[in-house]
Amino acid sequence: MIGEAVAVLHRAMAGEDVMGEPVWEWSQTLVGGALVRPLFGEEVAGALRPDGVRVLYSIALPKSYDGPPLAGARIALVDRGMEAGDAAGALRVSGAPDRTVPCPTRWDIVFEAGRVDG
């Protein structure tokens, strides 16, 4: 199997603003060979989101991934046209994915990521 490039975006506190609130900065780790599978896309009904759409993917990262933990991270599907530095438009990682040990394949971290637009 041939995977695709994704960017894993992590945020870290960069300081505080004049009101004492935290200021966050996003950094990225480019990962090649990720497996990305769309799970579904559906319209979100309701008065608050009349034109909303929910998108969900299953993503598997290769064993070579050595970046920070994925809890709270965001994923940009670079090979599908998402900007690697755009945390606002990236997919949110669900939960706190961990490695599967032992794992007989090249991909040992599998998780879901998605977003709601509208």
Q: Which domains does the chain have, with CATH numbers?
A: 4-117 (2.40.10)
The tokens describing 97, both together, are: 């994915």
pLDDT of 92 > 90? The answer is: yes
Q: How confident is the model at residue 111 (pLDDT cuts 50, 70, 90)?
A: very high
Q: Residue range 8-16: average pLDDT?
A: 94
Token pair 């009101």 is found at: 19
Q: Residue range 85-96: average pLDDT?
A: 91
pLDDT of 46 > 60? The answer is: no
pLDDT of residue 117: 74
What number of CA atoms fall less than 13 Å from residue 40's CA on the CB side?
A: 4
Within the chain, strands assigned E span 4-16, 22-44, 52-62, 74-76, 91-93, 107-117
pLDDT of residue 44: 58
81 vs 105: CA distance, rounded Å: 27
